[in-house]
Amino acid sequence: MKQFITFVRKEFAHVLRDRKTLFILFGMPIMQILIFGFALTNEVKNSKIVILDQAKDIASQSIITKIEASRYFEIERAVMNETDINDAFKRGKVKMAIIFPANFNETLLHQNKAQIQVIADASDPNTANMLTNYVSSIIQDYQQQLNTTLNVPYRIMPEVRMLYNPQLKSAHNFVPGVMALVLMLVCVMMTAISIVKEKETGTMEILLVSPFKPVLVIISKAVPYLFLSLINVFSILLLSVFVLDLPINGSLFLLLAESTLFIITCLSLGIFISIKTDSQQVAMLISLMGMLLPTVLFSGFMFPIENMPIPLQVISNIVPSKWFYIIVKGIMIKGVGFSAVWKETVILIGMTLFLFAISIKNFKIRLT
């Protein structure tokens, strides 16, 4: 035990000596949570659109005013014809074109049926879809206004309540997601590199000939990173609550315990990678190039996992941050207790044990 503590101390000294790296390790997650917490949003707003108003009458003008007032749209200069619309789309500046036919108001009032043409740049299908939805509801709104004065009967009025997040803030979704993403990558990368580095520079040999158990050598390398990551968790939570205005509706203690578990899972993954590789470059390529995009996609905070084809849903299960994201979202935002996240917790524990077991099995005491 005394030996172990000595080793851990040595590793701490190693980590703490390198001020530059330390600064990066603490500064990076903070910056990322701040930037992404404020900037990322699934909402589509301020989309530039062009309006071709051939009517220029009361109805078209009041619909345009309504569109202008909504935060979803920003109206660009008016274009003249279809080729101009095509050009604007190709330059990537506008997302949608709305065309009012001539005599719009007259047709609407006399024939009771008028048409508006809406052309979306569907190279981005999601935005196209949302914008078309927004325009439709604005126009429907206008139509309803016309109709209330006429008192239309048999109306169903949906009353919508937004649970957990009444203001529909994106941070409620993205902060837990970014937290799961950043913690995972930082933890995996740190351990993976630090052990490989010893191999590469040859100092691993010296450690291995010491009378100290090889497994403990590796664990003692992971301990300082556990502490560093916990400090990161603290700073992220402080930022989330005091800067990003997120609630912690559940138990803070449970949240910290789960974070510790998740960090240990990631550190074990890092250890496994470092045991399987023998140069920093390879370890890095695997942990960053190989994991960055898959982690973003399979955590579930960007794209709903239940939308994916079944084989990918199966793959997503092996990404630890998916489970941590569910846990953080549950405890922080929904305020649920352990009984709601025990399954995810068990999965993370299982992953940790598994990674540890195969790491030990693969760990070679003699280097070649």
Q: Which is nearer to other proteins, 228 or 352 (CB)?
A: 228
Q: How far is the CB of 104 from other proteins (least distance, A)?
A: 9
Burial class (CB in 10 A: 0-12, 13-18, 19+), 339: exposed
Q: How far is the CB of 224 from other proteins (least distance, A)?
A: 14
| Residue 335 contacts residue 250 (beta carbons within 8 Å) | yes
Classify residue 245 as left (phi > 0), alpha (psi -120 to 50) or beta. Answer: left
Q: How far is the CB of 93 from other proteins (least distance, A)?
A: 9
Q: Which is nearer to other proteins, 21 or 210 (CB)?
A: 21
φ, ψ of residue 35 to 5 degrees: the values are -65, -50
Alpha carbons 272 and 266: distance in angstroms, whole number: 10
Q: How far is the CB of 42 from other proteins (least distance, A)?
A: 4
Q: Which is nearer to other proteins, 269 or 352 (CB)?
A: 269
Q: Which is nearer to other proteins, 333 or 356 (CB)?
A: 333
Alpha carbons 351 and 221: distance in angstroms, whole number: 20
Q: How far is the CB of 222 from other proteins (least distance, A)?
A: 15
Beta bridge partners of residue 51, listed in sequence order: 98
Q: How far is the CB of 102 from other proteins (least distance, A)?
A: 15
Q: Which is nearer to other proteins, 36 or 262 (CB)?
A: 36
φ, ψ of residue 49 to 5 degrees: the values are -135, 160
φ, ψ of residue 48 to 5 degrees: the values are -80, 130
Give the CA distances from residue 364 to residues 29, 256, 270, in Å, rounded to whole numbers and listed in that order.
34, 34, 16
Q: Which is nearer to other proteins, 325 or 356 (CB)?
A: 325
